[in-house]
Structure 1
């Protein structure tokens, strides 16, 4: 599956100072890479760049040696982003959010039904499948977004602060599912400010003051 590389890259918005400078990393299939740092350190910026939503000012972001040219290109390379803000459609139910995403990425209606049921159950949401997103708690919405992202079976899975609203039991459930994604051969990048969650990952990249360092390379 996909190897994700960032080489000598600076990231920023508009004409402002770069949020991150000189970032170099390789995320490999079969591993879970934690990206840590305080709020505002640039974790979401880095994951957005890995997802093709933000182009580097200098340097490259590439999948298997192919430089990303935008979000559509990243999607075509099976890069799945589970965003911090969940990105769920409020007018749809939890199940519909998952099914629509599966169909939009080429799945059949039968695929969508099967994967929706499988992943809502895996995340403890079978009982909320037919509830509208606005009827769910923050933690349930977070798990619904995870179900939608994991149902896409991405080669690269980018999970941005996906345990921030979860209790200990559900946090462990999510960590186990991310580990299972890596075990099937996916490349998993998990942005978190939770030291215990980061410790459960294979390696850790830490962001502070615009610079990336490796507490656990």
Structure 2
């Protein structure tokens, strides 16, 4: 279980972006992280992912203080970043397979899981295309496919439906809820109120503070 207790986060010597944030990311639920542009959604996800150390308060995973990104990976915290984080000179298939093999999945199984996940995201036809040749929406879906294929215990997704049409947006939401059904704790940052309404819980960020809208 991932828990933030009175966490304050910022960059360098600048004032804190977020102050006194407390939330528990619960297995089996999808938590929408909402707020205007610049409200701190990405900052909070980075703290949850071990990329930012809090100035105050504590981020704990399974009762242990989260040390850094490597520690988060050890605890199966998967981050799908807003900029997709894909290698542009690799194909969609290669991006997934490299991540899976690096995570200890055998090559044959990685190929099987990659094909299945790309198919679930409607990307079978783009499997062998370089990422740099894909549209923005196709790149988003490839990043989501990679994140889902890693089968983490906590899945953090940052604005991953912003470039998707209505059909693919719903496809992604369905997949995130499927992850929750298998016991994954999902945190989904979004500026889309309709997407947020489809999640079980909502944490809204405003002026550096966090407010539970639905729990």
Do they fold alike, i.e. is TM over 0.5? yes
Residue 39 of structure 2 is aligned to residue 49 of structure 1: no
Name the CA distance, whole Å, in 1 between partners of 2:190 and 2:60: 22
Among candidates 172, 175, 181, match of residue 173 of structure 2: 175
| 1:30 aligned partner | 28
Task: Give, in angstroms, the shift of residue 67 of structure 1.
Answer: 1.0
In structure 1, runs of 5+ residues without a counterpart are none
Task: Provide Cα deviations, 1:62-94, integer angstroms capped at 9, x if missing partner.
Answer: 111111100000000000000000000011000
Q: Verify: 1:89 aligned to 2:87, yes or no.
A: yes
Q: Secondary structure at the match of 1:120?
A: helix
What's the secondary structure of 1:173's corresponding residue?
Answer: helix
**What corresponds to 1:72 in structure 2?**
70
Structure 1 stretches of at least 4 aligned residues deviating more than 4 Å after TM superposition = none
- Deviation of the 1:110 alpha carbon: 1.3
Spell out the pairing of 1:1-217 with structure 2 (5 A cutoff): 3-217=1-215
SS at match of 1:54: coil
Structure 2 counterpart SS, 1:30? coil
Taking the aligned partners of 1:111 and 1:43, their CA distance within structure 2 comes to 34
CA distance in structure 1 between the aligned counterparts of 2:113 and 2:191, rounded to whole angstroms: 30
Q: Distance between the aligned counterparts of 1:111 and 1:165, measured in 2? A: 30
> Which blocks of at least 5 consecutive residues in structure 2 are unaligned?
none
- Look up the SS of the partner of 2:187 in the other structure: strand
3-state SS, counterpart of residue 37 of structure 2: coil
- Number of corresponding residues: 215
- Quote the RMSD (CA, aligned, Å): 0.5
